[in-house]
Amino acid sequence: MIGGQGLGVGDWGLGLGEEAMIKSFRDLRVWHSGMDLAVEAYHITALFPKHEAYGLSAQMQRAAVSVPSNIAEGHAREHRKEYLHWESNFAPCAPR
């Protein structure tokens, strides 16, 4: 979502009030969800046939890892407006 709803920008998205400021991308709920997605993708693709190791499995793993990676990269942006722009461009690619 854009406009601070669910991105965890500033003190938005933590649900802990004003005292809960974001100091790192690791403080973002969305980053933790992305990490959970990446771990789950590795668990699921481990069950795929071996002949898919360099095909579908690898593609799914790279895609899942890109979610928290892009969130971390976007959070490194200097200004909130630039970060929201970065995340709004990324949001259509993220799984729902």
15-43 per-position pLDDT tens digit: 555 446 778 889 889 999 999 999 999 99
Would residue 3 count as lying in a domain? no
Distance, CA of 9 to CA of 63 (rounded, Å): 23
CB contact set of 70 (below 8 Å; sequence gap of 6+): 90
* Domain count of the fold of the chain: 1
Higher pLDDT, 3 or 75: 75
Would residue 57 count as lying in a domain? yes
Would residue 86 count as lying in a domain? yes
Would residue 83 count as lying in a domain? yes
Give the model confidence (pLDDT) of 44-80 as tens digits: 999 999 998 889 999 999 999 999 998 888 877 766 6
Would residue 12 count as lying in a domain? no
Residue 46: give the domain boundaries: 25-93
The whole-model pTM stands at 0.61
pLDDT number for residue 21: 78
